[in-house]
Amino acid sequence: GLMCPEPFAVTSNETCVIKYPDTVVDIVEPDHPPYSLIYPGPTLTTFPQRTIVGSTGLLDLRSFLGSRGSLGFRGMLGA
């Protein structure tokens, strides 16, 4: 009998939200008092993901996942 390692899939993702600062434009016109316009800065949301697919003998998954992530295929690997 040939022994084959169990297949596994590991994925980890974390939402990343970046709020850019607002832009303030000062307007000065000769016949009117000065005033400012505020343009709200954009909010960008990304969902970066790391995935490994392979066999159980490749690496220490705890260092890859940290305290987050999920294990696929057969559920929990021996910890």
pLDDT digit string (tens) for 36-63? Answer: 999 999 999 988 888 877 776 555 555 5
Q: Is the pTM of this model over 0.85?
A: no
Pick from 42, 62, 37: nearest CA to 52: 62
Other C-beta atoms closer than 10 Å to the C-beta of 10 total 20
The residues near 54 (Cβ < 8 Å, ≥ 6 apart) are 7, 8
The residues near 40 (Cβ < 8 Å, ≥ 6 apart) are 22
pLDDT at 64: 54
Helical H segments across 1-79, by residue range: 61-65
